[in-house]
Amino acid sequence: MVATLAAALSLAACDSKTATTGEARTTPNAEAMGKTDSAKIDEAAPTSGTAAVAAEEANAKPGPDPSTIPAAKAGDAATIYARPQVPILCYHQIRDWTGRDSKSAKDYIVPIAAFKAQIKMLADSGYHAIQPDQLYAYLTTGAKLPSKPIMLTFDDTDLDQFTIAHPTLAQYGYKGVYFVMTVSLGRPHYMTKDMVKQLSDEGNQIGSHTWDHHNVKKYQGKDWETQIDKPTKTLEEITGKKIKYFAYPFGLWNTQAFPELKQRGFVAAFSLAEKRDQQDPLFTIRRIIASGYWSPRTLHNSIVQSF
Ligand SMILES: [Zn+2]
């Protein structure tokens, strides 16, 4: 049972390639895969000395708690929608491929060396990893962000996010955002509650990714309690902090979900590459899946072209 569930969950991943949806959306990688020549990777020297310290400070700045931002200071939907988007990357598993990984699964499984090269490229190119509170303040009030902001998000609670991604990010002073699916906590190949607490204590953001990855568009009756309320309570008990950010399983959403999430205390929600909702851009913040096939240069081109 556990093994079956774990296997199902590990390949459920966040994308909706296999899900049927009427919404206009692009396959996360298709747009970018074919285009490789227009962007140029910055040739910045590796960070060192005072530059590294400055980068670390810019990366670590947490941003104001959304609840402290007066409503009167927040822009309307049109203003928020019009602001330039901050690139946001979505990762799942970070491990070397095996013979059992399907062609399509490899978009969601980034080999360790490829992941390290992608993150190094971001650092060498001068990107600053920001946190959701900073993004929220920027989108709602126009608050200033560090130069070349980017957000690094990790879905589905995979163990390698703690063992591989976390120390790799730390090497560059980067903090991440971890969207946890609470059913998997403590299961083989997934993070434990203690790991999630450590990530939170170190200043990484913990967000909700439901209980067991059911599609938000299909919730009825008690599903909101099972998939949203209980996981929020679990994550708040683990971290001792309010859970304010949500990532849609498979990236799928509908407008009926927005009031449900808002009344449960969420201030923003993250989808995948599809279009944003113009009336509720904070609840359809776009991310792209950083594919396991991508070289650092391809990733850079995708960042430039997708946001
Ligand atoms: Zn997911």
- What pLDDT, on a 0 to 100 scale, did the predictor assign at position 66? 87
User: Between the CA of residue 82 and those of 85, 220, 278, what are the distances in Å?
Assistant: 8, 33, 9
Residue in 297, 248, 250, 256 with CA at minimum distance from that of residue 280: 256
184: buried, middle or exposed (CB in 10 Å: 19+, 13-18, 0-12)? Answer: buried
Q: Which residues contact 169 (CB under 8 A, 6 or more apart)?
A: 119, 129, 152, 175, 176
Output the CA 12–ligand 1 centroid distance in Å: 7
CA angle 42, 44, 50 (to 5 degrees): 145
Output the CA 3–ligand 1 centroid distance in Å: 18
CA angle 123, 47, 119 (to 5 degrees): 20
- What pLDDT, on a 0 to 100 scale, did the predictor assign at position 60? 57
Output the CA 250–ligand 1 centroid distance in Å: 6
- What pLDDT, on a 0 to 100 scale, did the predictor assign at position 32? 36
C-alpha 208/C-alpha 214 separation (Å) is 12
Residue in 11, 45, 268 with CA at minimum distance from that of residue 158: 11
Output the CA 42–ligand 1 centroid distance in Å: 31
Backbone angles phi, psi at 260, to 5 degrees: -65, -45
Q: What is the mean pLDDT of each run of 10 residues along the chain (307 residues)?
A: 42 43 36 36 43 56 80 89 97 97 96 98 98 97 96 98 98 98 98 98 98 97 96 98 97 96 97 93 97 97 96
Output the CA 210–ligand 1 centroid distance in Å: 9
Output the CA 90–ligand 1 centroid distance in Å: 10
Element (H, E) at 281: none
Output the CA 181–ligand 1 centroid distance in Å: 8
Output the CA 249–ligand 1 centroid distance in Å: 5
Whole-structure pTM value: 0.84
C-alpha 80/C-alpha 10 separation (Å) is 34
- What pLDDT, on a 0 to 100 scale, did the predictor assign at position 54? 53
Output the CA 278–ligand 1 centroid distance in Å: 24
For the CA atoms of 28, 184, 204, 231, the dihedral, rounded to the nearest 10 degrees, stands at 100
